[in-house]
Amino acid sequence: MFNLVLFGPPGSGKGTHAIRIKEKYNLFHFSTGEYLRAEINNKTELGLRAKEFINKGNLVPDDLVFEIIESLIEKHKGVNGFILDGFPRTIIQAEQLDKAQTKINESVSMVLSLVVDEDELMKRLIKRGEETGRHDDNEAIIKRRFDVYNRQTSPLIEYYKNQDKYYEIYGLGSVDSIFGRITNIIDAYFANIK
């Protein structure tokens, strides 16, 4: 099973590229952000709990997110693999994921990180907020999300580098050119495991 973690700061293009990766490699795509937003819109208990954190630009607590991920892995055992988009976001989540996957003889295959500078990310997110009406895409919350990302999520770079699973993708240019960079790395991975 091919298990891909799609990594990068808010606005780096994870969602856009995850859809294309899913289609090309026939993987199950799971976005924690989309899932939690759907729960918030449906006013579920989980959604109401998550909304308190998201509206302040904070990460949803590890235990809550991991509950969702464990359930996801259990429900979709027969798929070719997963794209985890927006998870893990902390070292604790990465360690929990490793433990859960070890139980079923699986592991993260690779981590692809979309690298984009913060000025460009700010422009993208402000534009997205204007186009979609997402309340968390305003300048104050975006700055808070960058800060949270830099403090809590960026340490995962070293975590996955130490496992030789981390690959950086230059995240500027056309969607097609970025996607080409992504597929070159994934295709090289598959060529090496044959």
Catalytic residue, from 22, 51, 124, 145: name it.
Answer: 145
Distance CA 102, CA 150 (A): 28
Catalytic residue, from 51, 89, 124, 165: name it.
Answer: 89
Distance CA 28, CA 78 (A): 10
Which residues make beta-bridge pairs with 111? Answer: 5, 166
Please say if 128 is a catalytic residue. Answer: yes
Catalytic residue, from 14, 51, 124, 165: name it.
Answer: 14
Catalytic residue, from 127, 134, 151, 161: name it.
Answer: 134
Please say if 14 is a catalytic residue. Answer: yes
Cα three-residue angle 36-11-58, rounded to 5 degrees: 50
Which residues make beta-bridge pairs with 114? Answer: 169
Residue indicated by tokens 């975590």: 159
Please say if 151 is a catalytic residue. Answer: no
Distance CA 47, CA 170 (A): 33
Catalytic residue, from 37, 49, 128, 181: name it.
Answer: 128
Tokens encoding 95? 């360690």
Residue 38 CB neighbour total at 10 angstroms: 12
Distance CA 147, CA 62 (A): 18
Total H helices, total E strands in the chain: 9, 5
Which residues make beta-bridge pairs with 81? Answer: 2
Residues designated catalytic: 14, 89, 128, 134, 145
